[in-house]
Structure 1
Amino acid sequence: MFLDLPSDIVYHIVSFLSTASCVHNLALTCRRLHEIISAGNYRIFQAFVQSRFESIDVPPFWVDAARALTSRSRAFDRKAIIGRFVLPPQNARRIGHPRTVRTDHPTLGYRPVIDSYEVWCGNNWHSRKEVLVWGAGADLNIRVTDLSLYGKNNKREHRVEPDIEVARHRRSIGRSRDGVTWAVFNDLHGVNSWDDIAGVHAVPSTYGEPGTESEDIIFGRRNGSLLRMAISPGTGSSVLKKRYITGESNSLEKTDLSAGPQRLLAATLGRRAIAFFRADAEEDELQPLDILKTTAHGFARHKCSRLLCDERIAVGSDSAIDTIRVYDLTPTGVTRTRDFKMDDSDEGGLMRKSQVQTIEPLPVTSRTGGRAGDLFLAGWEDSKVRLHDLRSPKPYVSSYIDTVDDSLIYVIQPIGRECFLVGSGINATVKFFDMRMPNRYSYLDARPAPLHSQNHQNHHYRQTSNGFHNFQLQNVETPASEKILKDSLRYPRRDVSVFLSNRPPVRPSNRAPLFRDNLRYRGPIYTMSVPSPSSSTVYVGVEANVIRLDFASTDDITGPHRQWYEQNLGLGLDVDATAYADANAGIGNHLPVHSSSSSVRPFDLSCYERPLPEDRGKGVKLMMQHSLHKVVGSWERDGDGANQGRVPGWDPRWWQPLVKGKKRVRGRRTRA
Structure 2
Amino acid sequence: MESPRVLSSSTLDTLPTDILLIILGSLDTARSVAHLAATCKGLHQLISAGGWRIFVKSCFNSLTLPTSGSDDDWADLARVLTAQSRDWDRRAFVFHSLSPPETRRPNARRSHGAQSIPGNIIVDAHLQERGRFDEEFVVWGSGEDVVARIRRKDRMTVTSETWHLCKGSETGFIAGKDDTTSISIIKSPPFEENKDLGVVVGRANGDLRLLSISESSFGRTLMHFRPSPGFSLHQHEIRAVDVDGDSGIVTASTRESVWLYPVQTHDQPQSENVVESPYIDPIATVSLKDSQNSPSFEFIRSMKMFDKETIAVALNRSFDPIRVVNITQTGLEISALPPIPDEHPYIGSSPRTVRALLPVDVRSVAGGGGNVLLSSWDDGTIRLQDLRTPSPVDRIYQDNFEVATPINALISHGLERFVAGSAYSHMLKVFDFRWARGYYHTDSLPCSSNSPYPTPRPPTLVDEPKYRDNQPACNHVLGRLCRWHTLSRHDFYRPNCNIYLPFRNYASSPIYSLAKPSDVSPTIYAGLSGLLVEFTLKSGVQSASTPSTNPLYVRQRGKVAILETGDGSAISDVSKCQRVPEIRRQSFSNNEHSSTTVRKQHRLDEALQDRREWQEFEPLVA
* TM-score normalized by the length of structure 2: 0.76
Query: Do 1:387 and 1:399's aligned partners in 2 also have CA atoms closer than 8 Å?
Result: yes
User: Offset at 1:399?
Assistant: 0.8
Question: What SS does structure 1 have at the residue aligned with 2:558?
Answer: coil
1:6 aligns with 2:3: no
- Offset at residue 440 of structure 1 (A): 3.2
Q: Does 1:54 align with 2:61?
A: yes
**Residue range with higher mean Cα deviation, 375-384 or 363-372:** 363-372
Q: Distance in 2 between matches of 1:202 and 1:595?
A: 21
> Is residue 258–residue 308 contact of structure 1 (8 Å, CA) maintained in 2?
no
Deviations 1:133-158 (A, max 9, x none): 00011111011101129856xxxxxx
Aligned mates of 2:301, 2:201 — CA distance in 1: 21
- Secondary structure, aligned partner of 1:326: strand
Question: How do residues 138-217 of structure 1 correspond to structure 2 at under 5 angstroms?
Answer: 138-148=144-154, 178-186=159-167, 187-189=170-172, 191-204=174-187, 215-217=197-199
Question: One-letter code of the match for 1:217?
Answer: V
Measure the CA separation in 2 of the matches of 1:470 and 1:540: 39
Deviations along 1:237-288, whole A, 9 cap, x unmatched? 654321111457363233322345113211222x111111122368953211
CA contact (8 A) 2:401 2:577 kept: no
Aligned-partner residue type, residue 389 of structure 2: S
Read off the aligned partner of 1:327 and give its amino acid letter. V
Distance 1:347 1:370, change over 3 A: farther
When structure 1 is superposed on structure 2, of 24-33 and 9-18 the one drifting more is: 24-33
Q: Does the Cα contact within 8 Å between 2:162 and 2:551 map onto a contact in 1?
A: no
Deviation at 1:385, TM superposition (A): 0.3
How far the C-alpha of 1:343 sits from its partner, in A, is 1.1
1:110 equivalent among 107, 110, 119: 119
1:472-551 mapped onto 2 (5 Å cutoff): 492-503=493-504, 519=505, 521-551=507-537
CA distance in 2, matches of 1:597, 1:104: 22
Shift of 1:418: 1.2
User: Deviation of residue 341 (structure 1)?
Assistant: 1.5
- Give 1:333 deviation, angstroms: 1.4
Comparing 255-264 with 220-229, greater Cα deviation is found at: 255-264
Aligned to 1:135: 141
1:620 aligns with 2:581: yes
Contact between 2:295 and 2:320, CA under 8 Å: does it hold in 1?
A: no
Aligned to 2:251: 266
**Partner in structure 1 of residue 77 of structure 2:** 65
List gaps (5 residues or longer) in structure 2.
1-9, 103-110, 267-276, 474-481, 614-622
* CA distance in 2 between partners of 1:469 and 1:253 (Å): 49
Structure 1 residues 190 and 427, CA, compared in 2 at 3 Å: closer, same or farther? closer
| 1:290 equivalent among 284, 293, 296 | 284
**Alpha-carbon distance in 2 for matches of 1:302, 1:213:** 33
Q: Is the 8 A contact 1:324 1:341 kept in 2?
A: no
Alpha-carbon distance change, 352 to 132 in structure 1, aligned in 2, over 3 angstroms: same
The aligned counterpart of 2:200 is 218
Which residue number in structure 1 is paired with residue 241 of structure 2?
256
CA contact (8 A) 1:357 1:380 kept: yes
Instruction: Write the letter of the residue equivalent to 2:396.
Output: S
Offset of 1:5 from its aligned partner? 2.2
1:386 to 2:383 alignment: yes
Distance 1:620 1:300 in 2: 37
Contact kept? 1:84, 1:548, Cα under 8 Å = yes
Return the offset for 1:320.
3.5
Unaligned runs of 5+ in 1: 91-101, 153-177, 477-481, 504-518, 558-568, 578-593, 660-672
SS of the equivalent of 2:171 reads coil
Instruction: Render the CA deviation track for 1:582-617: whole Å, top value 9, x for unaligned.
Output: xxxxxxxxxxxx959944x52100121114559623
Name the residue aligned to 2:425.
Answer: 427
1:77 partner SS: helix
Deviation at 1:359, TM superposition (A): 0.9
Counterparts of 2:204 and 2:377, CA distance in 1:
26
1:244 aligned to which of 218, 225, 250? 225
Aligned to 1:376: 373
Q: Secondary structure at the match of 1:140?
A: strand
**Residue 651 in structure 1 maps to residue 609 in structure 2:** no
Call closer, same or farther: CA 1:352–1:11 in 2, change over 3 Å.
Answer: farther
Cα pair 2:317 2:353 within 8 Å, conserved = no
Q: Provide closer, same or farther for how the CA distance between residues 619 and 231 of structure 1 changes in structure 2, counting only shifts above 3 A.
A: closer
Question: CA shift at 1:367, angstroms?
Answer: 7.2
Give deviations 1:31-50, integer Å, cap 9, x for gaps: 33223212x2xx22222212
C-alpha RMSD over aligned residues:
4.3
Work out the percentage of aligned pairs sharing the same amino acid: 23
TM-score by length of 1: 0.71
Amino acid at match of 1:603: G
Q: Indicate if the aligned counterparts of 2:300 and 2:314 stay in contact, CA closer than 8 A.
A: yes
For 2:100 and 2:484, locate their aligned partners in 1 and report how far apart those are by CA, in whole Å.
42
CA distance in 1, matches of 2:441, 2:223: 48
Amino acid of the structure 2 residue aligned with 1:651? D
- Deviation, 1:30, is 3.0
- Provide Cα deviations, 1:376-435, integer angstroms capped at 9, x if missing partner: 100011100010102322111111101221212111111111100111112211111011
Structure 1 CA distance for aligned equivalents of residues 259 and 603 of structure 2: 49
